[in-house]
C-alpha cells in the first residue's frame, strides 16, 4: 500500500497528522523543520522524534521526495530536469543559473488545457494537476536546490487552473515553518483566469506575470483561446483595483512574433491598454516549435519595440533566451513523448 507524502503538507496538516498519531503537538513543527529546513529524505533521520513516534509515522507516511529521472544540459548552463509524478506521468523543471542568480522554472500540471498557439505544453493536452508534494518536489529534490535564488511558476501548466495546490505550495515556500522564502523571490505566470486571478492576488504576496502577447482581443483570442473566457481588457480592469507600486511586482509577458504583433502600432496599443497600471513589460523571443506557423521577430525590431514602450512610460526589457538547444526555453516544455511511451 502506498504511503502518504509528508513533503507538501502545511503546518496545519502536519498538526492533524500528529494529533491522529497521539504525538505531542510540538512534533508538527519539528517535522516541518526536518522537511523544509533540513530537507531530510527519510523519517528515520528525524532524530528529535522518539523511536516510537517515528515508527508510528512510518506506518502510513513517508517524506515523499523523488529525485529527477533525467537531466539535459544546455551549452549555456541551463539544465532541464525530468520528474516522475504519480505512476506514469512526467513534468519538466528548468534550472537557469545566471551570475549571482539561479532561477528554477516550476511546473504545476502535466500538460495544459489552455492550448496557446505558440506553446508545446498546450499542444500536449491536459493530463493531470500536480499536488503540492509534486510541485515542491521539483524544488526540494533539485541537485542545485541550495543555490536557488528565485522561483518562477512558469513551467508546464496554468497555475491558476490548479490554484488550491499551487497556493498550498506557495504557503510552504514562504511560511516561517517552511522554506521561509520572501514572496519577492517568487513569480507566478498566468494567462489570466477569471476564477483564480483575484484569489491569487488576495491570498499571496508573490509577484504576478500576465501572458499578454497581443493588446487586440481578436488577435489574442487566436493566439490564446483563454481570451474568450476572460479578456485582457477585463484582466487589466481587475488589476487596476490593486496596488502594485510597492514591493510586489506586476509584469506582462509579450512574445514578439514577426509580422504578427511586432509593429509599433501594437506598441502604441499596449501603452494605451496598460496606462494607469504600475507594471513592466518583458519582451520574449519566440522559439520555433513543430507544426506552428509563427516566427520570431529579429533583434532590431524587438529593440525598437522595447525603446518605444520604455520612452512612453512602460518600462520594458528583452528577456535573454536560455536553453533553446535542449527545448527548455519559453514555450518549449513538453513530456508528450514520455506520456505516449507509457501508453504503449
Q: Which residues are known catalytic residues?
A: 92, 330
Which DSSP string do the residues of 163-209 spell out, in sequence order? HHHHHHHHHHHHSTTTT---GGGEEEEES--HHHHHHHHHH--SEEE
Question: β-strand 89-98 against 101-105: which pairing, if any?
Answer: antiparallel
**Do 117 and 222 meet the contact criterion of CB atoms below 8 Å apart?**
yes
Q: Is 285 helix (H, G, I), strand (E, B) or coil?
A: strand
Cell of 142: 533539485
Cell of 85: 509524478
Quick one: which of 255, 245, 249 has its CA closest to 329?
A: 255
Axis-axis angle for helices 264-274, 232-239 (nearest 10): 40
What span, in angstroms and rounded, lies between the C-alpha atoms of 35 and 172? 11
**Residue whose grid cell is 493588446:** 215
What span, in angstroms and rounded, lies between the C-alpha atoms of 60 and 260? 55
CA dist list (Å): 119 to 27, 38, 155, 306: 45, 37, 11, 23
Backbone phi and psi for residue 94, each to the nearest 5 degrees, phi listed first: -120, 125
Quick one: which of 261, 253, 271 has its CA closest to 318?
A: 253
Q: In the structure, how many helices (H) and strands (E) does the chain have?
A: 12, 14
Cell of 166: 499551487
**Do 238 and 198 meet the contact criterion of CB atoms below 8 Å apart?**
yes
**Do 91 and 301 meet the contact criterion of CB atoms below 8 Å apart?**
no
Amino acid at each position: 500500500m502506498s504511503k502518504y507524502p509528508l513533503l507538501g503538507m502545511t503546518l496545519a496538516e502536519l498538526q492533524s497528522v500528529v494529533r491522529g498519531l497521539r504525538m505531542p503537538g510540538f512534533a508538527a513543527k519539528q517535522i516541518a523543520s526536518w522537511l523544509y529546513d533540513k530537507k531530510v529524505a527519510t523519517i528515520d533521520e528525524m532524530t528529535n522524534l522518539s523511536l516510537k513516534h517515528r515508527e508510528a509515522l512510518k506506518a502510513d507516511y513517508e517524506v515523499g521526495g523523488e529525485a529527477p529521472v533525467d537531466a539535459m544540459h544546455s551549452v549555456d548552463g541551463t539544465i532541464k530536469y525530468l520528474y516522475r509524478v504519480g505512476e506514469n506521468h512526467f513534468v519538466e523543471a528548468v534550472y537557469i543559473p545566471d551570475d549571482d542568480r539561479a532561477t528554477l522554472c516550476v511546473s504545476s500540471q502535466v500538460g495544459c488545457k489552455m492550448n496557446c498557439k505558440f506553446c508545446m505544453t498546450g499542444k500536449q493536452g491536459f493530463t493531470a494537476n500536480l499536488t503540492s508534494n509534486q510541485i515542491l518536489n521539483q524544488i526540494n529534490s533539485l541537485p542545485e536546490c541550495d543555490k536557488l535564488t528565485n522561483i518562477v511558476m512558469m513551467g508546464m501548466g496554468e497555475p491558476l487552473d490548479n490554484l488550491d495546490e499551487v497556493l498550498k505550495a506557495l504557503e510552504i515556500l514562504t511560511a516561517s515553518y517552511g522554506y521561509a522564502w520572501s514572496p519577492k523571490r517568487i513569480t507566478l505566470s498566468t494567462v489570466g483566469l477569471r476564477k483564480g486571478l483575484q484569489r491569487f492576488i488576495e491570498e499571496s504576496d508573490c509577484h504576478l506575470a500576465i501572458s499578454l502577447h497581443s493588446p487586440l482581443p481578436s488577435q489574442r483570442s487566436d493566439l490564446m483561446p483563454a481570451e474568450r473566457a476572460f479578456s485582457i481588457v477585463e484582466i487589466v480592469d481587475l488589476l487596476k483595483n490593486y496596488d502594485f507600486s510597492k514591493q510586489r511586482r506586476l509584469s506582462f509577458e509579450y512574445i514578439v512574433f514577426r509580422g504578427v504583433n511586432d509593429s509599433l502600432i501594437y506598441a502604441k496599443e499596449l501603452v494605451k491598454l496598460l496606462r494607469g497600471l504600475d507594471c513592466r513589460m518583458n519582451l520574449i523571443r519566440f522559439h520555433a516549435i513543430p507544426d506552428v506557423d509563427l516566427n520570431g521577430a529579429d533583434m532590431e525590431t524587438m529593440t525598437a519595440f522595447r525603446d518605444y514602450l520604455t520612452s512612453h512610460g512602460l518600462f520594458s526589457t528583452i528577456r535573454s533566451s536560455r536553453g533553446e538547444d535542449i527545448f527548455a526555453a519559453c514555450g518549449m516544455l513538453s513530456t508528450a513523448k514520455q506520456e505516449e511511451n507509457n501508453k504503449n
